[in-house]
Amino acid sequence: MAAIDQVLSTIDHNLDAAVQRLFGLLAIPSVSTDPAFAGDCEKACQWLVNELTGLGFDASLRKTAGHPMVVAHAKAKRRDVPHVLFYGHYDVQPADPVELWESYPFAPHIVEAPTGKRIVARGAADDKGQLMTFVEACRAFNETGGLPCDITILFEGEEETGSPSLPAFLAENKTELKADLMLVCDTSMWDQRTPAITTMLRGLVLEEVVIHGASRDLHSGMFGGPAINPIRVLGRIIADIHDDQNRVALPGFYDGVADLPQDVADQWRALDFDPRKFLSEVGLSEPAGEHDRSVLEQIWSRPTCDVNGIIGGYTGKGSKTVLPAQASAKFSFRLVGKQDPDKIVESFRAFVRARLPVDCRVEFIPHGASPALQLPFSSEALGRARRALHQEWDREPVLAGSGGSIPIVGAFKKDLDMDTLMIGFGLDDDRIHSPNEKYEMSSFHKGARSWARVLDALSS
């Protein structure tokens, strides 16, 4: 039996125990955006340190200004092998609205579905289930003679909030974290049987806007008419930020956005992607993005603007005839190509200020800004990973784009000049960031096997 077959067979035998380990991590409500869960974030971090220490890693919890990091190192059995850095995040999105979950979000359990078993819990797919595929691959190597590459692991706890502590941490630990290649497991497969390697990631700018009007809440009977209403100001900004072709109307917004190379455009057109099905699964029928772009372009290779939240005035039951003193909205921009996050922020703020009546003032609260990223198609590591995945899944992996953002990939490219292989086993219907998030058992099991094959291929 070849060494890699032994590793794969060990993963198969260990599956039940691996699921139980994952359940232990999923039971910790490590919601990073809400300070009430800070203790749980640290708990999840320490859980991972303990786990990796048990696998022979030199693992430690590293404090930051926000939630702590896990850093772990282990050497291969051989010398002269590549050194890879694996990145994941142990933090999760808030579980709200909790009332829409069919079970408690932090009580992980198995559900039998027509497509097979699935693991249900907040974080099952994003990103705890995914990062554990890599840890379980390391465990199988460890039990069968040792790792094929030198491995450094970095798990952060602020990915869902734009990774505010990451830049400083990278700057302070450059030497320790530098490797030949970064591996990231926070992306999706093409479908349940077809793997994908993500080569394009959208960037993300998060800006909260607070509009202040009168010095106090007013009675709309007494002041309705002459007094400015901050909700109206926000309404105008939201209405103006897209034109009638659903393009983003910020001046300079599309600077640095290139059209797709013809061969990639052709590959995407050949994919069996059904935009109608993609939308109908969430109750929609008509693409709401740029009129002249396909749905796949809209989510993989085009920049967007969205409002993720808005609040102002009386929002309880019944009515209250109030003119609120303030109203606020959370905006996000998905970036592609060479769009400059700082210039987008600047343009957005100018756009808001230009729509500010004389009696209003605006407050901007930045929640993070990261550029988009693209991996060269000619990369040697990409070729090895494609072959390894082909072997495991018996299908050619799709070279995909991704609508979501993984800030660290940009940061490592910028600060350490490291390329990143993004391989993940999530599915489009995993309900990440939504109630009843799940991760397919096939993703978890074959995900671990895939990483074993990729690590083996990178060291051959």
Decide if residue 302 touches a copy of itself (CB under 8 A): yes
Please, which of residues 44-83 interact with a copy of itself by CB under 8 A?
A: none
Please, which of residues 352-411 interact with a copy of itself by CB under 8 A?
A: 357-359, 367-368, 402-405
Residue number, 149 or 184, with CB nearest to a copy of itself: 184
CB burial readout 305-317, b (16+ within 10 A) else e: beeeeeebbeeee
Which residue stretch of 3-11, 19-27, 203-211, 444-452 sits at the interface with a copy of itself (rule: CB under 8 A)? 203-211
- Options 321, 338, 342, 354; binder of a copy of itself; rule CB under 8 A: 321
- For residue 102, the tally of other CB atoms under 10 A from its CB is 9
Q: What is the nearest approach in angstroms of a copy of itself to the Cβ of residue 40?
A: 15
Please, which of residues 264-283 interact with a copy of itself by CB under 8 A?
A: 275, 278-279, 282-283
Q: What is the nearest approach in angstroms of a copy of itself to the Cβ of residue 438?
A: 13
Q: Which residues are 198's β-sheet partners?
A: 400, 422
Which of these, 277, 454, 239, lies nearest to 355 by C-alpha position? 239
Please, which of residues 239-258 interact with a copy of itself by CB under 8 A?
A: 239-240, 242
Residue number, 200 or 457, with CB nearest to a copy of itself: 200
Decide if residue 322 touches a copy of itself (CB under 8 A): yes
CB burial readout 421-446, b (16+ within 10 A) else e: bbbbbbbbebbbeebbbbbbbbbbbb
Which residue stretch of 40-48, 68-76, 221-229, 263-271 sits at the interface with a copy of itself (rule: CB under 8 A)? 221-229
Decide if residue 167 touches a copy of itself (CB under 8 A): no
Decide if residue 445 touches a copy of itself (CB under 8 A): no
Which residue stretch of 140-148, 328-336, 375-383, 448-456 sits at the interface with a copy of itself (rule: CB under 8 A)? 328-336
Please, which of residues 114-133 interact with a copy of itself by CB under 8 A?
A: none
Amino acid letter, residue 343: K
Q: What is the nearest approach in angstroms of a copy of itself to the Cβ of residue 239?
A: 3
Residue number, 431 or 446, with CB nearest to a copy of itself: 431
CB of 184 closer than 8 Å to CB of 84: no
Which residue stretch of 172-180, 259-267, 315-323, 448-456 sits at the interface with a copy of itself (rule: CB under 8 A)? 315-323
The H or E element spanning position 402 is: strand 398-402
- Options 202, 384, 445, 449; binder of a copy of itself; rule CB under 8 A: 202
Residue number, 146 or 404, with CB nearest to a copy of itself: 404
Decide if residue 345 touches a copy of itself (CB under 8 A): no
Q: What is the nearest approach in angstroms of a copy of itself to the Cβ of residue 305?
A: 8
Q: What is the nearest approach in angstroms of a copy of itself to the Cβ of residue 391?
A: 28
Helix, strand or coil, per DSSP, at residue 328: strand
Alpha-carbon gap, residue 440 to 234, rounded angstroms:
41
Alpha-carbon gap, residue 78 to 45, rounded angstroms:
30
- Options 236, 387, 390, 414; binder of a copy of itself; rule CB under 8 A: 236
Q: Which of the 8 DSSP states describes residue 359?
A: T
Which of these, 97, 298, 323, 115, lies nearest to 218 by C-alpha position? 323
Alpha-carbon gap, residue 236 to 248, rounded angstroms:
14
Alpha-carbon gap, residue 103 to 140, rounded angstroms:
32
Alpha-carbon gap, residue 160 to 95, rounded angstroms:
12
Length of the chain: 460
Residue number, 264 or 279, with CB nearest to a copy of itself: 279
- Options 5, 58, 243, 306; binder of a copy of itself; rule CB under 8 A: 306
By CB under 8 A, the count of residues binding a copy of itself is 99
Residue number, 214 or 416, with CB nearest to a copy of itself: 214
Rounded-to-10 torsion of CA 315, 320, 321, 322: -50
β-pairing, 181-184 vs 420-423, is: parallel
